[in-house]
Amino acid sequence: MTTAIAMQVSRNKQRYVEEWRVLETYRGERHLVGRFSNSGRYWASPPIIRLDFACQKGFTSDGREYLLVRGPGPVAAAEYFISLCAVFDERLLTTKDVTAELSLSRRQVGQPRA
């Protein structure tokens, strides 16, 4: 019975994110933004504490695990999301999409040396 409860808790902490991007706010925190499985809506995660591109997973400050479905989503969707959030806090206009930077550094790390 205890194992079943533990499995249920761990499943509840796991989410799928489609059309995802990684955004860095003015606070220096990085968030996953995309279409989340639990609601189907475009949203932002709590701050990311670790990204594992090899496993297509992100881990956030609230202890949740986000499974990154397929590749990153369109840049325009992330830009639109930022503009909507900036209505409430204009400092968010300085938010940067760092998805490409992270993808590039991952590729460079994985390339064999000549």
What's the pLDDT tens digit per position in 17-50?
Answer: 999 999 999 999 999 999 998 788 999 999 999 9
d(CA 64, CA 59): 6
Predicted structure pTM score: 0.79
CA distance 44 to 30: 10
pLDDT digits (tens, 9 = 90+) for 1-16: 444 444 444 456 889 9
What pLDDT sits at residue 38? 76
| Residue 76: HSE in the Cβ half-sphere, 13 Å Cα cutoff | 0
Burial of 59 (0-12, 13-18, 19+ CB in 10 A): middle
